[in-house]
Amino acid sequence: MKTILSILAVVALGAGSIFAGCGKKVETTGTLKSFDKDTKTLVIEADGKESKIALTPKTEVKKGKKSTDIAKLVGKKVKVVSEHKKADSVTG
């Protein structure tokens, strides 16, 4: 009986760590205030707050359906999908 309860406790604790928020995508919509080429960081103003999000080599930058340069989107409204403050996609 003790072993069954121990096994159930281990399984329950292990299942809780699976859903720790990893893999959660965050969508930020606002105005792209600036882009720093050296640090590859975007500054987005959304709802009166500024968010800093880093670009990665895999980040997709689109305007409509076509790829574009991130510098062309500065000052425009953008939607950024990110995970752990690293951008997956930027759409303007």
- Rounded Cα–Cα distance for residues 29 and 51 (Å): 10
* pTM, two decimal places: 0.71
At which residue do the structure tokens 């997709």 appear?
60
Q: What pLDDT, on a 0 to 100 scale, did the predictor assign at position 18?
A: 60
In three-state secondary structure terms, 25 is coil
Q: What pLDDT, on a 0 to 100 scale, did the predictor assign at position 21?
A: 61
Q: Is pLDDT at 8 greater than 80 in this prediction? A: no
pLDDT in tens, 11-70: 776 666 565 566 788 899 999 999 999 999 999 999 889 999 999 999 988 888 888 888
Torsion angles phi and psi, residue 54, rounded to 5: -90, 145
